Amino acid sequence: MSFQDFPWQHWAHLRGNQSALILGDDSLTWRELCQRIDMLAGGFQQQGVREGQGVVLRSKNSPEMVLAFLALLQCGARVLPLNPQLPDALLEQLLPDLTISHALTFGAPLSVANINSLTLEEGERFQVAWQPSRFASMTLTSGSTGLPKAAVHTAQAHLASAAGVLAVMNYDTNDSWLLSLPLFHVSGQGILWRWLLAGGGMVVRDLHPLNDALQGCTHASLVPTQLWRLLEQSQPLALREVLLGGAAIPVELTQAAQAKGIHCWCGYGLTELASTVCAKRADGLPDVGEALSGREVKVVNDEVWIRATSLASGYWKAGNVAPLVNAEGWFATRDRGVLNGNRLTIIGRLDNLFFSGGEGIQPEEVESVIAKHPAVKLAFVVPVDDAEFGQRPMAVVEADDDFDLSLLTEWLQGKVARFQQPVRWLRLPDEIKQGGIKISRAQLKLWVERVA
């Protein structure tokens, strides 16, 4: 599929009266959506937004944010959606190099110099020409150390990402995908671009409680913890198809979901690749399936390397776009993986590997065993410094409230090697759970060092 106009204009011409977007209690047809975007783009243009400029969109998901995102694309802006929970001190360091001219924030204004505040107001219909090779977005990566980097994607790369997923998952005009993950993360953007490519339906509403938000939705993208919580509920579940990703997907989880009639897809994706790279229907095995169309995967010295049409053009740095590929033309992910035929299994992050008494410990390998305990929902293994061993593993788990964590030591015996046995068990604190869609290991390590 190649568009001659912005995708929403394409669908408005083709089937303007069909429902496109559910925003809270409101429903917009493709034609109505176009009208809203035209006027909001006009408002941005009046406030000085020009093609090629960087524009911050700091918001959690909301109807206004989705409309603003699309209107900024129609102005030709390079949109940087930002997690509202990122501290000002970080933004002051980060934004000067990201060439940002304007910011639309819902809530407190940005306190960064030389960035003009925008408001969401209507103006006269405006658009630049649809140009798929124009930079459309910058998405921050959540690196384990240092400042996040901004991966720049063209609309074309996002659409290539969407095409690969839609070639295996059925999602079409009569389906609706809940915007169940934040637009400041690729997993949320992946939903948006699949919706635009398929001309399907997308639902934007408050996600709490998730099962209410899912009413009437056929599709959602979830991280494993969201699905665990959903399955704990007793009400009937509305969801038909779920794309999982972002972290290791326990086989127990997909089996529990399938038993409740939810069809699971296991995905492996990255910010740099505009979301999903590999995916498969859950089949009781722990791999993430084969590379989707438009992607190639190989493993070099245990590391997953990827080549793809959805790869970002580069990381934005002071007006330059630094390429992501190595001398061989591949993106080296820092993920440790194994290929069985064409099926990829993710073992963990190479950067997470640590040594204890000379033995290598890949935390994710131990975590996946601990997570099999029925009382455990989420497990992390982090290194703590030790005079004798160099480092030793400590476990931080989310488990049923009335479950005694000390029982895990004995339960784990024989299931992992002795050197992999955590020397202590801690409960995952609420303070770590807040923020983005993932638990930050760096933050977790700092917390463990503080309390242990």
Residues 220-239 interacting with ligand 4YB (rule: CB under 6 A): 221-223
Nearest-approach distance from CB 220 to ligand 4YB, in angstroms: 9
Nearest-approach distance from CB 16 to ligand 4YB, in angstroms: 28
Letters for 280-309 (x = contact with ligand 4YB by CB under 6 A, - = none) are: --------x---------------------
Q: What is the DSSP string of 319-350?
A: TEEE----TTS-EEEEEEEEEETTEEEEEEEG
Nearest-approach distance from CB 33 to ligand 4YB, in angstroms: 22
Nearest-approach distance from CB 50 to ligand 4YB, in angstroms: 30
Asked if residue 59 lies in contact with residue 72, where contact means CB atoms within 8 angstroms, the answer is no
Q: Is 81 in the site for ligand 4YB (CB under 6 A)?
A: no
Residues 329-348 interacting with ligand 4YB (rule: CB under 6 A): 333, 335, 346
Whole-number Cα distances in Å, 253 to 230, 268, 427: 11, 16, 21
Closer residue to ligand 4YB in complex, CB, 33/181:
181
Whole-number Cα distances in Å, 360 to 39, 93, 256, 369: 58, 35, 32, 16
Chosen residue from 47, 105, 142, 309 binding ligand 4YB by CB under 6 A: 142
β-sheet bridge partners, residue 268: 278
> CB neighbours of 320 closer than 8 A, spacing ≥ 6?
314
Q: For residues 276 and 165, what is the distance between their CA atoms, to the nearest angstrom?
A: 7
Asked if residue 427 lies in contact with residue 402, where contact means CB atoms within 8 angstroms, the answer is no
Q: For residues 440 and 327, what is the distance between their CA atoms, to the nearest angstrom?
A: 30
Q: Is 349 in the site for ligand 4YB (CB under 6 A)?
A: yes
Nearest-approach distance from CB 415 to ligand 4YB, in angstroms: 20
Q: For residues 287 and 289, what is the distance between their CA atoms, to the nearest angstrom?
A: 6
Q: What is the largest CA-CA distance in the chain?
A: 70
Task: Tokens for 152, please give them.
Answer: 């720049």
Closer residue to ligand 4YB in complex, CB, 74/271:
271
Q: For residues 408 and 386, what is the distance between their CA atoms, to the nearest angstrom?
A: 22
Chosen residue from 156, 275, 356, 362 binding ligand 4YB by CB under 6 A: 275
Closer residue to ligand 4YB in complex, CB, 362/420:
362
Q: In this chain, which stretch among 62-70, 171-179, 195-203, 247-255 interacts with ligand 4YB, using CB under 6 A?
A: 247-255
Q: For residues 61 and 59, what is the distance between their CA atoms, to the nearest angstrom?
A: 6
The residue count of the chain comes to 452
Q: In this chain, which stretch among 24-32, 82-90, 229-237, 240-248 interacts with ligand 4YB, using CB under 6 A?
A: 240-248
Q: Is 131 in the site for ligand 4YB (CB under 6 A)?
A: no
Residues of this chain that interact with ligand 4YB (CB under 6 A) are: 141-142, 181, 186-187, 190, 221-223, 243-249, 267-271, 275-276, 288, 333, 335, 346, 349
